[in-house]
């Protein structure tokens, strides 16, 4: 009996440790936590994220995820107080569906949702707060997001550096001929 109790307690601790380490991200390039500094995405990364976010299949998946969580919440009485993981996932889905090319991380604690990462422009930044508040149970939104237009990747940078015009220098030590007249 003692072994079974120890096994159950150990399993519960392991599960809670793993669950606490997960944060909801809109893309794999998003920061791992809401307090990390966001990096400027490359053009290639931004295009890949935007292509994925705009695909019909991904849009349907995001909408189904939001709807399933809302239905589950309504079955339990439609509580305004929701599990942090549900808030994180619903807000992440909402932001991913509506803000293509963004790289955001969403964390939630007691109805306070923190969004961190990067968006490519001011209009997308301005939409974060209202979109997050559309989710039932979100009381406050903390936005730690940088506006960072995509930058050329390393491959593109090396190509442009090769194409730069280099200054011409005269390495001849000879003096130009002088006119004896």
Return the higher-pLDDT residue of 57 and 156. 57
Number of domains in the chain: 1
Lowest pLDDT segment from 63-67, 96-100, 111-115: 63-67
Is residue 64 within a helix (H) or strand (E), and if so which, with residue range?
helix 56-75
Residue 140 has pLDDT above 90, yes or no: yes
- What pLDDT was estimated at residue 14? 55
Rounded to 10 degrees, what is the CA torsion of 28, 49, 94, 113?
40
Domain with 64, as residue range(s), is: 23-154
Residue 163 inside a domain? The answer is: no
Backbone angles phi, psi at 82, to 5 degrees: -120, 160
- What pLDDT was estimated at residue 104? 92
Return the higher-pLDDT residue of 29 and 3. 3
Residue 177 inside a domain? The answer is: no
- What pLDDT was estimated at residue 64? 85
- What pLDDT was estimated at residue 97? 86
- What pLDDT was estimated at residue 43? 61
Question: What's the rounded Cα separation, in Å, for the pair 102 and 49?
Answer: 7
Averaged pLDDT for residues 149-177: 49
- What pLDDT was estimated at residue 26? 56
Taking only the tens place, the pLDDT of each residue in 10-59 is 665 555 545 544 555 555 555 555 555 556 656 666 666 666 666 788 77
Residue 7 inside a domain? The answer is: no
Question: What's the rounded Cα separation, in Å, for the pair 36 and 167?
Answer: 41
- What pLDDT was estimated at residue 7? 64
Buried b / exposed e over 43-66, threshold 16 CB at 10 Å, is eebbebbbebbeeeeeeeebeebb
Residue 130 inside a domain? The answer is: yes
Residue 171 inside a domain? The answer is: no
Residues 88 and 113: beta-carbon distance below 8 Å: yes
Averaged pLDDT for residues 116-120: 92
- What pLDDT was estimated at residue 100? 82
Residue 9 inside a domain? The answer is: no
Residue 128 has pLDDT above 80, yes or no: yes
Residue 181 inside a domain? The answer is: no
Residue 107 has pLDDT above 90, yes or no: yes
Residue 8 inside a domain? The answer is: no
């Amino acid at each position: 009996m003692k072994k079974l109790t120890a096994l159950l307690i150990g399993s519960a601790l392991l599960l809670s440790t793993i669950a606490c380490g997960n944060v909801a991200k809109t893309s794999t390039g998003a920061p791992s936590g809401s307090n990390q500094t966001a990096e400027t995405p490359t053009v290639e990364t931004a295009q890949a994220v935007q292509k994925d976010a705009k695909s019909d299949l991904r849009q349907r998946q995001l909408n189904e995820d939001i709807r399933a969580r809302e239905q589950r919440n309504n079955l339990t009485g439609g509580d305004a107080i929701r599990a942090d993981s549900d808030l994180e996932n619903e807000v992440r889905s909402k932001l991913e569906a509506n803000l293509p090319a963004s790289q955001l991380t969403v964390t939630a604690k007691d109805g306070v949702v923190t969004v961190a990462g990067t968006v490519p422009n001011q209009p997308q930044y301005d939409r974060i707060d209202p979109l997050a508040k559309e989710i039932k149970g979100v009381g406050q939104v903390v936005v730690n997001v940088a506006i960072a237009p995509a930058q050329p990747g390393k491959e593109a940078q090396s190509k442009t550096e090769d194409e730069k015009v280099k200054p011409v220098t005269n390495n001849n030590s000879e003096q130009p001929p002088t006119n004896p007249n």
